[in-house]
Chain A
Amino acid sequence: MGGRRGIEGTAQAAHYVLLTTISDFAILNNMLQLSGNKNLHADRLATLVDLRRGDAAILDCIDLPGDDARRLMELGFLPGTRVVAGLSAPGGDPRVFQVDGSEIALRRETARRLRVRFIGAPGTP
């Protein structure tokens, strides 16, 4: 794991206000490092837009600035989580994704920034 700045154990409410900006960078760093090694395999680099209805994949990393990425993570889009593509508006944009017990709709332009790894071959749930 890469360098991680933070506070272990007792996190007082006051502290994390200060550390928010520092941690943004740390988290992104963390995720990039977590995912960077695993992506160099033969698994093709796909994003959520490549999923058709019913396809499942594992989220790899989120290619968005800190605040946007955190919002997505809070909703359940965490690296390592299973995402299943659901129904969409006519035309496929935006599309609903089932993740961590919820259904969240994303536009193509956002889905494009979420890298995934397919489980097995694309098209198998």
Chain B
Amino acid sequence: MALIGPPNSGKTTLFNRLTGLRQKVANFPGVTVEQHTGIAELPDGGAVEIIDLPGVYSLQPRSEDEQVAYDVLTGRRADTPKPEAILLVLDSTNLARHLMLAAPILSLGVPTLVILNMADDLRSRGGHVDLEALAGQLGAPVALISARQGEGIEEVVDFLAASAPKPAPLEQLPVLHDVPKCREWAGRVGSQARYRAPIPPVWTRRLDALFLHPVAGPLIFLAVVCAVFQTIFTAAVPLMDGVKWLFDASGNWIAATLPPSILRSLLVEGVWRGVGSVVVFLPQVLLLFLFLGILEDSGYLARAALIADRTMAKVGLQGKSFIPLLSAYACAVPAILATRTIENKRDRTATILIAPFMTCSARLPVYTLLIAAFLPNRQLFGFANARAAALLGLYALGFLVAVATARVLKSSVLRSRRTPFLLEMPSYRWPTVRSIGLRLYDRSKVFLRRAGTVILLVTVLLWVAAHLPTVGGKAPGMEHSVAGMVGHAIEPVIKPLGFNWRIGIGLITSLAARETIIGTLGEIYGMDPESRALDMQKALQHDLSTGGAVALMVFFAFAMQCISTIAVVRRETGGWRWPLFQFAYMGVLAYAGAFLAFHLIP
């Protein structure tokens, strides 16, 4: 069964209602379109698989979304079976226009249920439609529902359970590719069904007068952006501390319970430290997406993209790039997934390429550690804390480089003939706990699975490399282990940056995921970084000069050190060309930046 409808018709809300947590997201092979499938339970105990197709206005195969939708519905895709029935979801408050999609869908000859969504809005704003007359006009059953409120869902489920008849062939079907004619037909069908359009949403106009006010608008926008950052830094901290405590406590318990052995060493030093260093970020990522989810579901995000558009256009991007780039401050992986809303392929690629420059949360512990070790906690100019200023400086550095890169990319390699910027402003709505909850569940799954598996692998590998080759049955010192040998091998390359072989090992492991360098260094210095932080700092001070420390931070600011990001970029750009280019470009920048930093700072 396929679910199709225009964007903003509430189709996904219905999909979530029908399938709940039994959803799966994959990619259609060959295109960068997401495939959402889920299982809906039927009252008789059976189940039916539903595929949520991309939001489209027509089936004209111009964009990838429309091409995929058309191919799936006509059974042309080898990987997806032709749907037995179609659920066509239309916004009942915009019926006259949304009915345009009914023409091509019904002409496919597949049993279809025409669903008029947002019944609650239609009623409260004085709209009306004669369902029977409409069903007669369309030759297919019609249901009026509200997916948000859960009203009328039984009719949809009944349709799914029964074997529905094919729609009656439509008389006077319009010329499908002629948009004005199609719209005319839709209008006629609507008036035959005695459709009365609801009055414009009053609250939306009122709120817009505030959110798009020439003065108040941008101020509110800035306040929202600041709130996002506040959330990432302060609100997340107690939660992160909680997670860290959990891991430490359980790790200690394991260490106390198991006898000293390879297994214990692997578990505690390898797995627990590795996985723990990733899971500790989960509260931050979740809080950020909670925030963004509320903004998006309520409808405010479209207004934010509008306000940001002018500024983004100055560097060659557009307003829709703003949200992904903001998300990147928590983690680039979901941010890159969020670029799907950008239709212009080149704008989208540019946004994906600069997203990793945004100081993601994985860089934070590295910065914090190095700043604490090398910068005394004094006041600058009497009021500003030097350490906070340094941190802010690093954030600014990432941001500036991102902007510069965007400018360069968009004026050369990714220069585009401007496709018209079109942004639909949805009405404001109260976000529902259900939809936000589902989205959070989805995002955390992605984050944990991607980040967790990679970091787990790396930490285990490092542990193995550091404990081989065994000398007389015991583990060798770090210097003589495989890890140490590799570190020595690359030392000549990184010496100009002020790094020695120990830092070198850290750099290698951090290529897979940034935060592993902390655990790696801890292991290298032969001590647990959590419990003896001061000694870690002293060890760092021995191994690095101040210039070297700054170089290391600059390196981390610029380098692409995240296998998960590379994987996502490959998936979203459909090839290895861009992720490899990104890796090389960021690597060169990191090396040059670190080199400069080391040589400019005593």
> Number of B interface residues, CB 8 Å?
54
Identify which of B212-220, B386-394, B568-576 touches chain A: B212-220
Q: What chain A residues lie within 8 Å of B96 (beta carbons)?
A: 100-101
**Smallest Cβ-Cβ distance to A71: which chain B residue:** B422
Given contacts A10-B169, A74-B179, A106-B422, contact A89 B97 (CB under 8 A): no
Smallest CB separation, A82 vs chain B (Å) = 13
Q: What chain B residues lie within 8 Å of A86 (beta carbons)?
A: 208
Query: Is residue B108 contacting chain A, with contact meaning CB distance below 8 A?
Result: yes
Identify which of A1-9, A37-45, A117-125 touches chain B: A1-9
Given contacts A10-B173, A103-B424, contact A90 B307 (CB under 8 A): yes
Cα-based distance from A88 to B176 in the complex (angstroms): 34
Query: Is residue A57 contacting chain B, with contact meaning CB distance below 8 A?
Result: no
Cα-based distance from A79 to B183 in the complex (angstroms): 11
Query: Is residue B445 contacting chain A, with contact meaning CB distance below 8 A?
Result: no
Given contacts A13-B107, A101-B197, contact A78 B183 (CB under 8 A): yes
Contact of A105 among B172, B179, B418, B423 (CB under 8 A): B423
Cα-based distance from A99 to B104 in the complex (angstroms): 23
Q: Are B425 and A110 in contact (CB under 8 A)?
A: no
Q: Are A102 and B424 in contact (CB under 8 A)?
A: yes
Q: Are B421 and A74 in contact (CB under 8 A)?
A: no
Q: Which of A82-122 contact B (CB under 8 A)?
A: 86-91, 93-94, 96, 98, 100-107, 109-110, 113
A-B contact pairs, 20 of them (CB 8 A): A11-B107, A13-B74, A20-B62, A71-B57, A71-B422, A75-B422, A78-B179, A78-B183, A87-B212, A90-B215, A90-B217, A94-B421, A96-B212, A96-B425, A100-B96, A103-B204, A105-B421, A105-B424, A109-B418, A110-B421
Residues in A lying within 8 Å of B, measured CB to CB? 6-14, 16-17, 19-20, 23, 26-27, 30-31, 64, 67-68, 70-76, 78-79, 86-91, 93-94, 96, 98, 100-107, 109-110, 113
Cα-based distance from A36 to B57 in the complex (angstroms): 28
Q: Are B108 and A13 in contact (CB under 8 A)?
A: yes
Q: What chain A residues lie within 8 Å of B176 (beta carbons)?
A: 11, 13, 16
Q: Are A9 and B172 in contact (CB under 8 A)?
A: yes
Residues in B lying within 8 Å of A, measured CB to CB? 57-62, 70, 74, 93-94, 96-97, 100, 103-104, 107-108, 169, 172-180, 183, 197, 200, 204, 208-209, 212-215, 217-218, 302, 306-307, 309-310, 313, 319, 418-425
Q: Are B177 and A6 in contact (CB under 8 A)?
A: yes
Cα-based distance from A104 to B425 in the complex (angstroms): 6
**Smallest Cβ-Cβ distance to B426: which chain A residue:** A103
Smallest CB separation, A102 vs chain B (Å) = 6
Cα-based distance from A64 to B194 in the complex (angstroms): 35
Q: Are A104 and B424 in contact (CB under 8 A)?
A: yes
Cα-based distance from A70 to B120 in the complex (angstroms): 31
Q: Are A72 and B420 in contact (CB under 8 A)?
A: yes
Contact of B97 among A6, A11, A88, A100 (CB under 8 A): A100
Cα-based distance from A8 to B185 in the complex (angstroms): 13
Q: Are B421 and A107 in contact (CB under 8 A)?
A: yes
Q: What chain A residues lie within 8 Å of B61 (beta carbons)?
A: 17, 20
Q: Are A89 and B177 in contact (CB under 8 A)?
A: no
Cα-based distance from A36 to B204 in the complex (angstroms): 37
Q: Are A105 and B306 in contact (CB under 8 A)?
A: yes
Contact of B178 among A17, A27, A93, A107 (CB under 8 A): A27
Contact of B107 among A12, A94, A113 (CB under 8 A): A12
**Smallest Cβ-Cβ distance to A91: which chain B residue:** B310
Cα-based distance from A109 to B93 in the complex (angstroms): 30
Smallest CB separation, A115 vs chain B (Å) = 15
Smallest CB separation, A24 vs chain B (Å) = 8
Contact of A64 among B74, B215, B420, B425 (CB under 8 A): B420
Q: Are A104 and B423 in contact (CB under 8 A)?
A: yes
Q: What chain B residues lie within 8 Å of A78 (beta carbons)?
A: 179-180, 183
Most buried by A among B217, B218, B420: B420
Q: What chain B residues lie within 8 Å of A105 (beta carbons)?
A: 302, 306, 421-425
Cα-based distance from A30 to B62 in the complex (angstroms): 20
**Smallest Cβ-Cβ distance to A34: which chain B residue:** B180
Contact of A68 among B172, B309, B419 (CB under 8 A): B419
Q: What chain A residues lie within 8 Å of B214 (beta carbons)?
A: 90
**Smallest Cβ-Cβ distance to B218: which chain A residue:** A90
**Smallest Cβ-Cβ distance to A10: which chain B residue:** B173
Q: Are A9 and B173 in contact (CB under 8 A)?
A: yes
Most buried by B among A26, A31, A73, A89: A89
Q: What chain B residues lie within 8 Å of A110 (beta carbons)?
A: 420-422
Most buried by A among B96, B176, B197, B424: B176
Smallest CB separation, B452 vs chain A (Å) = 39
List 7 additional contacts besides A27-B179, A74-B100, A104-B424; criterion CB under 8 Å. A27-B180, A86-B208, A87-B208, A87-B212, A94-B319, A96-B212, A101-B97
Q: Are B93 and A101 in contact (CB under 8 A)?
A: yes
Q: Are B212 and A88 in contact (CB under 8 A)?
A: yes
Given contacts A20-B61, A87-B209, A104-B423, contact A13 B104 (CB under 8 A): yes
Cα-based distance from A92 to B97 in the complex (angstroms): 27
Given contacts A75-B424, A96-B212, A107-B421, contact A101 B173 (CB under 8 A): no
**Smallest Cβ-Cβ distance to B73: which chain A residue:** A13
Q: Are A74 and B212 in contact (CB under 8 A)?
A: no
Cα-based distance from A88 to B213 in the complex (angstroms): 8
Given contacts A89-B212, A104-B425, contact A6 B420 (CB under 8 A): no
Contact of B306 among A11, A73, A94 (CB under 8 A): A94
Cα-based distance from A10 to B177 in the complex (angstroms): 13
Q: Are A67 and B62 in contact (CB under 8 A)?
A: yes
Given contacts A75-B422, A96-B425, contact A89 B209 (CB under 8 A): no
**Smallest Cβ-Cβ distance to B74: which chain A residue:** A13
Q: What chain A residues lie within 8 Å of B108 (beta carbons)?
A: 13
Q: What chain B residues lie within 8 Å of A74 (beta carbons)?
A: 57-58, 100, 179
Contact of B310 among A64, A72, A93 (CB under 8 A): A93
Smallest CB separation, A61 vs chain B (Å) = 11
Q: Are B100 and A8 in contact (CB under 8 A)?
A: no
Q: Are A19 and B177 in contact (CB under 8 A)?
A: yes
Cα-based distance from A113 to B422 in the complex (angstroms): 13
Q: Are B179 and A70 in contact (CB under 8 A)?
A: yes
Contact of B60 among A10, A16, A101 (CB under 8 A): A16
**Smallest Cβ-Cβ distance to A5: which chain B residue:** B175
Q: Are A23 and B177 in contact (CB under 8 A)?
A: yes
Contact of A89 among B172, B180, B307 (CB under 8 A): B307
Contact of B420 among A23, A30, A71, A76 (CB under 8 A): A71
Cα-based distance from A6 to B208 in the complex (angstroms): 42
Cα-based distance from A103 to B426 in the complex (angstroms): 7
